[in-house]
Amino acid sequence: MTGAADMVIRIRGLENRFGPHVVHEGLDLDMRRGEVLGVVGGSGTGKSVLLRSIVGLRRPSAGRIEVFGEDMTGIDETRHAGIAARWGVMFQDGALFSSLTLRENVEVPLRAIDGLDPKTRRALADLKIAMVGLPPDAADTYPAELSGGMRKRAGLARALALDPEIVFLDEPTAGLDPIGASAFDRLMRDLVQALGLSVFLVTHDLDTLYALCDRVAVLAERRVLATGTLDDMLAVEHPWVRDYFHGPRGRAARRAPSGPGGR
């Protein structure tokens, strides 16, 4: 059941270097359709660099990245745009355009669709804003007037504007208080189910991992050190992985009621 057709992302031999500093070397990673893949790793292991390489914000030094079976390295711009329309990216602080209201932000990707009249566009933007759990009157506010959690939700609404198949989330719960973070986890779980999303989730947050992820990929030593379910991770004998999943926070998150069986 995990044939090549089910792979939405397939990375082979990825290499990223900044001058003499090697971030990734011989990195392999697969992501299946419909799964939530959590990517964890210590600071500086290049989680965000990996995300940026996949979505085309950074040209990798070497290696092959396939998304929906298409090689993304050396692809021409129109083909890339066609594939990019099938994914959405949510940046850490939402990365909303500060000169636009929330609704206008969500409308930005919709403007690229031909034959969509302004009224429909507006209604679809409002629908997405409602779906990420923002109140209707937030649509007319500017990003600066919102709290961090609301900006993240709005960033998610913009990422979901075109009903993407894959969503990339960069540290979705960083900077949120625990209540806001678990609310975001719940929201993501509902959306994944309702929209049938595949999610590439970069995070530090163990609670988010336990609440959302089907599989986890650990970045260390410039490559993907281990992949598997959270239970598999507990058996990995690597010092960082042990410290991460067996540390006090890891144990606490494992005991929490929103464990992997909670979906």
Partner 1 sequence: MATVEPEHPQGPVLALDGQIGLTDLDRLRRLLAGIGGAPRATVSLAGLQRLDCAAAWLLLAEQERLRQAGTELVIASVPPHALPLIEAVRANLDGAEAKPHRPLSPAMLLDRIGRRVADAGAFLRDLLQYLGLFAARLSNALRRPRSFHLTALVHHCEEVGLRAVPIVALMAFLIGVVLAFQGATQLRPFGAEIFVVELIAISILRELGILLTAIIVAGRTASAFTAAIGSMKMREEIDAMRTLRIDPADALVLPRLVALVITLPILGLVADVSGLIGGALMSWAELGISPAMFRTRLIEGTDPIHVVVGLVKAPVFALIIGIVGCRAGMQVGNSAESLGRMTSSAVVTAIFAVIVTDALFSILFAQVGL
For the CB of residue 85, give the shortest distance to partner 1 in the complex, in Å.
9
Which CB, 4 or 194, lies closer to partner 1?
A: 194
User: Is 153 a residue that touches partner 1 (CB under 8 A)?
Assistant: no
Considering only the stretches 11-19, 45-53, 58-66, 121-129, report the one whose residues sit in contact with partner 1 under the rule CB under 8 A. 121-129
Of positions 154, 162, 199, 241, contacts partner 1 by CB under 8 A: 162
User: Is 114 a residue that touches partner 1 (CB under 8 A)?
Assistant: yes
| CA gap 208, 93 in Å, rounded | 17
| CA gap 193, 152 in Å, rounded | 20
Which CB, 183 or 234, lies closer to partner 1?
A: 183
Of positions 190, 231, 232, 243, contacts partner 1 by CB under 8 A: 190
User: Is 81 a residue that touches partner 1 (CB under 8 A)?
Assistant: no
Nearest CA-CA partner of 88 in 14, 174, 22, 155: 155
| CA gap 60, 52 in Å, rounded | 9
Which CB, 2 or 120, lies closer to partner 1?
A: 120
Q: What's the DSSP call for residue 45?
A: S
Of positions 128, 152, 153, 158, contacts partner 1 by CB under 8 A: 128
3-state secondary structure labels for all residues of 171-234:
CCCCCCCHHHHHHHHHHHHHHHHHHCCEEEEECCCHHHHHHHCCEEEEEECCEEEEEECHHHHH
Which tokens in the block code for residue 73? 């390295």
User: Is 194 a residue that touches partner 1 (CB under 8 A)?
Assistant: yes
User: Is 22 a residue that touches partner 1 (CB under 8 A)?
Assistant: no
Exposure string (b/e) for 228-259, b if CB count within 10 Å is 16 or more?
eebeebeebeeebbeebbeeeebeebbeeebe
Which CB, 69 or 247, lies closer to partner 1?
A: 69
User: Is 98 a residue that touches partner 1 (CB under 8 A)?
Assistant: yes
Contacting residues toward partner 1, per CB under 8 A: 98, 110, 113-116, 119-120, 122-124, 126-131, 135-137, 140, 144, 160, 162-163, 190-191, 193-196
